[in-house]
Amino acid sequence: MINRTLTLCLLIVIFTESVLSVDFLTNRNTSQILDISDICIKATKHEYFMPSGTGGTDGLVLLVTQPKDLIQCELNFNIRRDNDQSIQIIVVEFLPTLATYEETLSVCNTSFGEFFMTFRDEEGETATGCEMFTKSIYGNPYLVYLSHESSVSLLLNSFGYLNPIKITASSGRSLALGENCIKAEIECTVSQKAVCVDRRLRCDGHINCGMYEDQDEDHKICRKDEYSNYWLIALAAVAILVLIYGIFVYCIKLHITKTAGTFFIFNEDKENKLVIRSQLNTHDWLEYKKEITTEPTGEATTVKESGKV
């Protein structure tokens, strides 16, 4: 049986400019998290605005946990349509739980279920969300709603507790025949249509393109991006080791030069032959001095016992 001890309605709205009364412009690089436990009730209406065309990486998270009243509200998503290519992509997910796919969807039924949702466009056309769900690769139900309208409404109604729900809304643009996405965008397929969304939405943890696999959240791409950071760390570690090795070699060479000057004397004789003499007054050195004080033969240089050349 479905665990009904917690109700969680998670709404993530991807946009770049404004949202109701939230001071979003001062925190453009962070996601805003709001608890709407007291406002997504009693048939209230809430407006959210997204830019025309592709969206941004900023996000708004609306969270409902253990509400005092049953969920009953209308969420309106709006974009400014500068051209006919501007679209809205709305993804609704039942987050993975221990419940099976069939058990999760059993509460989502317009006729006798405990929860239902309805999409409505500007023309008044409606679509029942409970009939649009399909199974993801992780086994949880999800649906994708694509609209070219500038305003889309999502009506949520519950008559009891339900599994956690996440709603991700993104703006994008559809591609004409033979057209490609620009460099700042990525191309994905939504409901069998070629669509461009902002490149920064890739690997952000939300299925903006409406599918888990081979889209903006493709694990092959996202894991590759994750491991690329490890390569940077490895290169930095190698660079540090090379630097330490260079400093070590420099210090060794400097130390050897000073050591040689301390224990040896470098002189040249009259014929410019280098004579190296140790300054250590050891037994071996005294014996060696006796040997080199003998009269040299040939062109060898005479070294007196006093040690002077």
User: For the residues 205-224, what does the mean pLDDT come to?
Assistant: 76
Put simply, whether the predicted model's pTM sits higher than 0.75 gets the answer no
Of the chain, the percentage scoring pLDDT greater than 70 comes to: 59
Average the pLDDT over 132-137 and give the result. Answer: 88
According to DSSP, residue 108 is labeled B
Over residues 251-309, the pLDDT tens digits come to: 877 766 555 555 555 455 555 555 555 555 555 555 655 555 555 555 544 444 444 44
**pLDDT category of residue 57 using cuts at 50, 70 and 90:** very low
What is the spatial distance between Cα 210 and Cα 132, in angstroms, rounded to a whole number? 13
Mean pLDDT within 123-140: 88
Closest to 208 (Cα-Cα) out of 40, 19, 105, 58: 58
User: For domain 8-217, which architecture applies?
Assistant: Sandwich (2.60)
Q: What is the pLDDT of residue 22?
A: 35
> 76 is written with which tokens?
């309106």
CB 160 within 8 A of CB 114: yes
pLDDT value at residue 184? 86
**Class of residue 34 by CB neighbours under 10 A (exposed 0-12, middle 13-18, buried 19+):** middle
User: What SS3 class is residue 88?
Assistant: strand
Three-state SS annotation for 165-226: EEEEEEEEEECCCCCCCCCCEEEEEECCEEEEEEHHHCCCCCCCCCCCCCCCCCHHHHHHHH
- Residue 64's pLDDT is 57
